[in-house]
Structure 1
Amino acid sequence: MIVAEPTFTKTRNIENYLDRIQLKSKGTIKNIESYLRRFDSYLQDTYNKPNEVILDEILSMKNNQDVVLFDILQDFVNYLSGKTNRLNANTISSGYVRHTVYAIKGYLRFYGFKITSDDLKDALTLPRIVEEEREPLTREQLHLILNNQTGLRRVLYLVMSSSGMRPSEVLQIRKCDLELEKYERILVKIPAKITKTKKPRITFISKEAEKELLPYLKKINGNSFIFNPSNKTMEQIRLSELQIFGRLREKIGLSEKYESGIFHVSLGDSLRSWFVTKCNRVDYGFGHALAGHDQYMKRYDRLTLEDKIELYLKAEKSLQVFEYLDDDKEKKIQELEQKYEITNKKLELVLNMIENSQKNKSQIVIGRKNNFDDL
């Protein structure tokens, strides 16, 4: 007698796995799908069978399931490590290979394999991640970026460099998320649903960025996206901004890449790193906290809002792009102001002496005239 398969049983395939993890962020799901599709294409090219057929065959084996599975995974790792990546670097990065393997692990567990992260570490030889020394964004480069951009997009870059928000966050910020007048600087309340950590946080916008932002805010209502006036989907606006920044980067000659193929200057990492570095000089970890790095946020949650504003105001001096004065220049200006003040006082003293001298001369002349009249 044939027993019908229960109607509530889901078929094990990539589509149903993606449906199962739908509560993850859209970006994460998209990456996982990309990893799994690549794995499936590799299996079809290598064995002329889709992943479901191969995985079913392995599960049906009475012995050596793990051996066969890890042999296939290791072959796939070796295959990836010898491929050229989408940025035309020599090889796909070690980080990409590791992300792919751990994404496949989740799918394999869904499929019915009892596999853990420790199993992967023990059974597979993964490429080591080579640490590249990243070059920080310079003030001159930021000048170049902003001077070659106009309108709302120029304001976007200024706001990002002074607030530490991710592209995915700043592009979803609405006017109602800003506290415009209550504090010394614009306070940004970033909703949990748009942050990477899914935790709400605050940050600030510099006075320099505020000057260019306010005219645009006056034109929109409270519920409007500030930097997404066309109300595109998050994926559409994110890709659009990345492409526009890529063309700008090419135009102004900032297209240099690391060996891994990653650009030295990028829309997200470079502007956020600029912000974090400047704020951390005031109090180490403060920049990380405002930028949304989870391990630092707890420490700064204990500070009052007034304390955070005070720290930000100290950091703001070095966050300035066009209005920046380094310590040496500021010291020289103060010295000149002091000299100017001293000179003014000396000049005022001389003028008073001249004025008094003239008064005395006038009194002498009048006295002589009176004496002459008496004669």
Structure 2
Amino acid sequence: MNVYGDDSERLLDELRGDTSDALYHFLQDFINFMGEKKLKPKSIASYFSTLRTYLRSQGIKISSDDVKDLISLPNIIQELRVPLTKDHLKLLLDYSKPDCKALYLTLLSSGMRIGEALSLRKSDFDLSSNLIMITIQGRFTKTKQTRQTYISSEAKSALHRILKNKKDDELVFAKSKNLDASILAEEKTFVNLRKRCNLTEKYPDSSRHIITIYSMRAFFHTEASIVHDEQYANAILSSIFRETFGSLSRT
């Protein structure tokens, strides 16, 4: 509102006193102005939401129904996500260092978020059977609920060298106890790996790369979605992983 200078308070007074045309003309003019600045639809929607919040703090309430009926926002185009392919995965794994390869195979076969994987300690791994079960502590999950998942035999083999040298309370993948710092470090490592593999393609008219470290979780859900029962999907995912890719990486 500072763009209006000394007229800001006068404008707010006018908007408070008029809940019909003047208010919605002002809002539409704001959106049109953002469009003329060539901002992307998602950015315009974000700015508009911020403006609504500010106006609400000034006693000017705008209902969602009125926004839907009276305001024209640009459509946000949902891009079709490009899935990881077998060739992409093989290339990434072949160029990865052993510790990174173990992390990526774990992400690919478990469906964990990168932050969840980096929070794991050796004690979270149940090594008592052929199929390794991992317990993700609730304080590290998005839902704040503890859950369990499984990994493929290939991930198990890659993890063996790491786990045998760890104490029960030691972090398995992360180099730092600061989770945010660990996530940032892994993102940077993956960016460098992506460059070495020449997998730097971006979505059209976007700064977002097609392949990111988060693509591995998306791969898991694509594979597991063919099985409707979540518990059953977890139990057989190792078999799906092996049957789909076989020996995906060099030892």
| TM-score (norm. length: structure 1) | 0.56
Does residue 47 in structure 1 map to residue 4 in structure 2? yes
Distance 1:257 1:216, change over 3 A: same
Q: How does 1:286-297 map to 2 (within 5 A)?
A: 286=229
Distance 1:111 1:166, change over 3 A: farther
In 2, the alpha carbon distance for the partners of 1:264 and 1:79 equals 31
Letter in 2 for 1:254: L
Shift in Å at residue 206 of structure 1? 0.8
Shift in Å at residue 226 of structure 1? 2.1
Would the aligned equivalents of 2:152 and 2:239 in 1 still touch at CA under 8 Å? Answer: no
The structure carrying a bigger helix percent of its residues is 1
Which residue, 199, 202, 226 being the options, matches 1:257? 202
Letter in 2 for 1:316: F
SS at match of 1:203: strand
In 2, the alpha carbon distance for the partners of 1:72 and 1:190 equals 49
Would the aligned equivalents of 1:102 and 1:117 in 2 still touch at CA under 8 Å? Answer: no
What's the counterpart of residue 132 of structure 1?
79
Work out the number of aligned pairs and report it.
Answer: 247
- Worse-matched range after superposition: 203-212 or 64-73: 64-73
Would the aligned equivalents of 2:151 and 2:238 in 1 still touch at CA under 8 Å? Answer: no
In 1, the alpha carbon distance for the partners of 2:205 and 2:29 equals 22
Does residue 204 in structure 1 map to residue 150 in structure 2? yes
In 2, the alpha carbon distance for the partners of 1:167 and 1:154 equals 13
SS at match of 1:198: coil
Task: Give ranges in structure 2 of 5+ residues lacking alignment.
Answer: none
Q: How does 1:313-324 map to 2 (within 5 A)?
A: 313-318=238-243, 320=245, 322-323=247-248
SS at match of 1:272: helix
Would the aligned equivalents of 1:178 and 1:188 in 2 still touch at CA under 8 Å? Answer: yes
Percent identity reads: 30
What's the counterpart of residue 125 of structure 2?
178
**Which portions of structure 1, spanning 4 or more consecutive aligned residues, are displaced by more than 6 angstroms?**
none
Q: CA RMSD in A?
A: 3.1
Give the number of the structure with larger relative contact order, counting CA–CA contacts within 8 Å between residues 6 or more apart: 2
Distance 1:312 1:127, change over 3 A: same
What's the counterpart of residue 147 of structure 1?
94
Shift in Å at residue 315 of structure 1? 2.1
Shift in Å at residue 80 of structure 1? 4.6
In 1, the alpha carbon distance for the partners of 2:64 and 2:78 equals 22
Does residue 248 in structure 1 map to residue 193 in structure 2? yes
In 1, the alpha carbon distance for the partners of 2:10 and 2:246 equals 61
Would the aligned equivalents of 1:161 and 1:275 in 2 still touch at CA under 8 Å? Answer: yes
In 2, the alpha carbon distance for the partners of 1:273 and 1:97 equals 28
Letter in 1 for 2:171: F
What's the counterpart of residue 276 of structure 1?
221
Does residue 226 in structure 1 map to residue 180 in structure 2? no
In our comparison, the structure showing a higher alpha carbon Rg is 1
SS at match of 1:202: strand
Does residue 64 in structure 1 map to residue 18 in structure 2? yes
SS at match of 1:188: strand
In 2, the alpha carbon distance for the partners of 1:317 and 1:225 equals 27
Shift in Å at residue 106 of structure 1? 4.6
